[in-house]
Structures are given as C-alpha cells and as structure tokens.
Structure 1
Amino acid sequence: MENLHIVFWLLKDVSWCMVWKPLGLAMIVPTLAIAIIISWRTRHLVSELAHNLAIVLWISANSYWMISEFFHFDEVLVWHSVTGKHLALVPFGAGLAVLAYYYLVQKRRENRPEQVATL
C-alpha cells in the first residue's frame, strides 16, 4: 500500500507540473485516502502515527496549493500580503507542529527512564 501511495503522489505532482488538471485533481483522493489509511493502521505506534499524520497534512497542503494554482487564486490577496497560496502554510505548519510535539515532548517521555518510587 505504501508503494502504491508513492505512485499516486508522483502522478499528482507530475500532473501539477504539467498542468493536467483532471488527473491532478483525481489523484488527490487516492493519495490522501491511502495516507489516512496508513495513519490509521499505525495509530498504536506513536512515532509512526506522528510521521504519518505529518504526511497527511503535507499532502493536504500540497493539494491545496496545486488547486490554488489550477484555479488561479494562488496570487489573489486574502489578507494584507497573504495570498491564496500562502493558506497552504496552515496544514504545512500543523504537520510541523505534530512533529515538533513528537520530538520535543513525546519522544523525551519515551526515552526517560522509569522512576521507581522508594519508601
């Protein structure tokens, strides 16, 4: 499933590069769906879940950015100097936040030696 996921992801990005709108838009669904399934299947492993959630958010941001270019609102001002394309920073940032939490908080907890209560 992970290997097929890469094929869909590459097809999506090649379609974006070549401005093949129908194929690019169609490839969002299987690419994102498989990323979500992989995340669900690895939910019991905190490290894997964190990384797979970051990938889901990355694909979401990447797909939004592609859509913004396909439909020409990537350069439209949304607020001050923020354009439609810049809104992709929300899921990109969320993915970074998930990984930051994992590495700065969760991984440290996992690596901490168990403290034994002494009487």
Structure 2
Amino acid sequence: MENLHIVFWLFKDISWCIILKPLGILMIFPTLIISIVIAWRTRALMSELCHNLAITFWITANSYWMISEFFAFDEKMIWGGISYKQLTLVPFLLGMFILMYYYLYWRPRHLDVIETM
C-alpha cells in the first residue's frame, strides 16, 4: 500500500507540473485516503503514526497549493499581506508540530520503548 501511495502522489505532482487539472485533482483522493489508512494502520507505533500523520498533512498542504494554482487564486490576498497560497502553512505546520512533539517530547521520555513493525 505504501508503494501504491507513492505512485498516486507522483501522478498528482506530475499532473500539477504539466497543468493537467482533472488528473491532478482526481489523484488527490487516492493519495490522501491511502495516507490516512497508512496512519491508521500504524497507530500502535508512535514513531510511525507521527511520521505518517505528518505525511498526511504534507499531502493536504500540497494538494491545496496545487488547487490554488490551478484555479489562480494562490496570489489573491485574504487579509493584510496573507495570500491564499500561504494558507498551506497551516497543514505544513501541523505536520511539523507533530514531528516536533515526537522528537522533542515523546521520544526522549520513552527511550526504553522499542517499536517494531
């Protein structure tokens, strides 16, 4: 499933590069759904869960960014100097905060925990 996930992700990003809107938008769904399934399946292992959630947020941000460019609202301003494209920071930062939680808080307090698949 992880390998198929990468194939969908690549199709999505290649579609973005060549501005093939229908395929790019279509590929969001399997890419995002599979990343959520992978995160769910690895929920018993904190390391895997945190990394897979970060990937899910990354795909979410990446997909929103792609859509904002496809429909030319990426440079429009929402408020002050903040553009719609900059909203991608929300899911990107959520993913970063999850990884920071894991590496700075959870992992140092659980050094004795051995996680295996």
Specify the TM-score bucket, using the shorter chain as the normaliser: over 0.9
Which 5+ residue runs of structure 2 have no aligned equivalent? none
Q: Which residue identity does 1:36 align to in structure 2? A: I
The answer to which structure, 1 or 2, has the higher relative contact order (CA under 8 A, 6+ apart) is 2
Matches of 1:66 and 1:79 in 2, distance apart? 21
3-state SS of 2:110 partner: helix
The aligned counterpart of 1:43 is 43
The aligned counterpart of 2:105 is 105
Q: Which residue identity does 2:64 align to in structure 1? A: Y
The aligned counterpart of 2:22 is 22
Which 5+ residue runs of structure 1 have no aligned equivalent? 114-119
Q: 1:1-119 maps to which residues of 2 (within 5 A)? A: 1-111=1-111
Matches of 2:15 and 2:28 in 1, distance apart? 11
% same residue: 62
3-state SS of 1:43 partner: coil
Matches of 1:7 and 1:14 in 2, distance apart? 10
CA RMSD of aligned residues (A): 1.1
Q: Which residue identity does 2:96 align to in structure 1? A: L
Deviation at 1:112, TM superposition (A): 6.1
Where has structure 1 moved over 3 Å in runs of 4 or more? none
After superposition, what is the alpha-carbon deviation per residue over 1:1-56, rounded to whole angstroms, capped at 9, x for unaligned? 00000000000000000000000000000000000000000000000000000000
